[in-house]
Amino acid sequence: MVRKERLGMNRKKFLASVFLCFVSALSGCSNSAPSEAAAAEELVVSHDHIAVGPITLAEFSDGFAIHGVGGDTAVLFAVQPTDSPERARGIHAARRVGGHVLADVTPPPEGWGTPLSIKIEWFRRTLPLGSSEGQFLVLDNRVPPLLMGTVAARLYRYSYRFQTNSGLTTTLRETHVLPLNTQALAPGNLPDGLAYPGSIALLPGGRVAVTDNAWGSVWVSDASLDSWSFALIDPRFAGAVGGTIEGVGLDADGNVSPYTLVTPAPPFLGLPPGLGLYPGAHSIAYAAYSDEVCFAVTLGMNPVLMTPSSGLYCIERAALLDTNLPPFAKSGDFMAGTWGLVRPVVPPTPGLGDLTDGVDYDRFTPDSPWLYWQRAPADVAGGGCNRLRRVHLDTLAVQELACDNETFAWANEISALPPIIPGLGVTTILSSVGQEYNNPDVNALLNGVPRYFAPSPLPVTLVVSY
């Protein structure tokens, strides 16, 4: 049986490698419209031929920040959290094949606040060929980070339908208000809700997990999304005070140039100039292969040992959902530096797991052992490049998949897309182009003046799944 499984896995790897070589050849010679097989401005093929990309599938003509991304076989979605000079915040859409821009997602009655994440709950292909319909969730924090803890975040559930002959229609079906924390962010206190959600993950059975990047906690819903339980907390996963981040990325003129960023800090912290509050627990994903819930800690610190805790972590789903264990007892003793039921899969290492916002697992290939992540900045510690990587959930081996500064620009979230052609053993990772260093709502050093480059792309990287 083991030999048969190994032969099947090797066959999948072979088919995927052949497909990627074919895509690589087409991308180098085709002048057709952007697609997953053509028209990449710059192509990066890893040395062992496991990845091709980034390839821009669609783009919006103006410049703005993209925080969350998602999609199905027909439609791509881009979540814009703040207004830009030319475009109001919201959720924009484009065709996955051909890149044509579609209608925006219909706002909720109260309008968008600070939408951050989108997750496709289910979809199906429909006729005419190239059409689809489905359902997705949107996390809207309602307020920017400066006002964290003042307004409850919301989860919106939408249905959608895209037809090649009539376009995209979206309908708001449900609104769910997340519990708001009322406790002071202080040693010895435990939260009674979320201060500032980081992202959401879809769990089996219709449940949803949400990170809180202020407290460093994880909350889990029931299947109705109306009841929430406090599942995990550790001060090493909480947001941390940090200084400036220096890197390189596209500027308003479309040139790769140096930037300096410092995030705004809530007034109640009383931080001096030059210091900001950076997220702790951020993107979160469910990994079917190991039945674990995994998340990134963007900037974390052990408050006792004063050692960094920025990295990627996983916990078995059963342990996360175990109500017999207190949330603070699941991750070991931070004073002793132990991790308990939580395991670091990418331990704190400058330039590797730190300053990571985007994490995802390919749920459309549930026997794949890889967890994908992308650091936000292109800084000296990271080799001066925006890098997409993955880690093997058994061996913890790390592979670099793409390195780019002319398409990637501060990934806030990444999303594994369903395969257009099933059975090839290829994972498609869609990266958000966040431009946070160009966003005055995130970079306090811009003094309110946006510096977005245009156009705003939706790039993917194609990777052998095994």
- 3-state SS of 37-84 is CECCCCCEECCCCCEEEEEEEEEECCCCCCCEEEECCCEEEEEECCCC
* Burial class for 315, CB neighbours closer than 10 Å (0-12, 13-18, 19+): buried
pLDDT of residue 4: 42
Cα–Cα dist 309/413, whole Å: 20
Cα–Cα dist 227/219, whole Å: 10
- Residues 187-219 pLDDT 10s: 789 999 999 999 999 999 999 999 999 999 999
Q: What does each of the 466 residues of the chain score in pLDDT, given as a tens digit?
A: 443 444 455 546 645 655 565 455 444 433 333 444 333 233 334 446 799 999 999 999 999 999 999 999 999 999 999 999 999 999 999 999 999 999 999 999 999 999 999 999 999 999 999 999 999 999 999 999 999 999 999 999 999 999 999 999 999 999 999 999 999 978 789 999 999 999 999 999 999 999 999 999 999 999 999 999 999 999 999 999 999 999 999 999 999 999 999 999 888 889 999 999 999 999 999 999 999 999 999 999 999 999 999 999 999 999 999 999 999 999 999 999 999 999 999 999 999 999 999 999 999 999 999 999 999 999 999 999 999 999 999 999 999 999 999 999 999 999 999 999 999 999 999 999 999 999 999 999 999 999 999 999 999 999 999 9
Per-domain residue ranges for the chain? 2-464
Cα–Cα dist 402/408, whole Å: 10
pLDDT of residue 17: 55
- Longest Cα–Cα distance of the chain, Å, equals 63
- Residues 141-192 pLDDT 10s: 999 999 999 999 999 999 999 999 999 999 999 999 999 999 997 878 999 9
Q: What homologous superfamily is domain 2-464 in, according to CATH?
A: TolB, C-terminal domain (2.120.10.30)
Q: For the chain, report the end-to-end CA distance as a whole number of angstroms.
A: 18
Which residues lie closer than 8 Å to 273 by C-beta, 6 or more apart? none
- Residue 118 identity (one-letter amino acid): I
Which residues lie closer than 8 Å to 198 by C-beta, 6 or more apart? 210, 211, 212, 213, 279, 280, 281, 282, 283, 284, 295
pLDDT of residue 19: 56
Could you tell me where the DSSP H helices lie in 200-323? 317-321
Contact yes or no for 373/389 (Cβ under 8 A): yes
Going by the DSSP 8-state scheme, the letter that residue 355 receives in this structure is: T
- Residue 225 identity (one-letter amino acid): L
In 10 A of CB 400, how many CB atoms? 16
For the chain, give the number of residues: 466
Cα–Cα dist 134/199, whole Å: 21
Could you tell me where the DSSP H helices lie in 188-326? 317-321
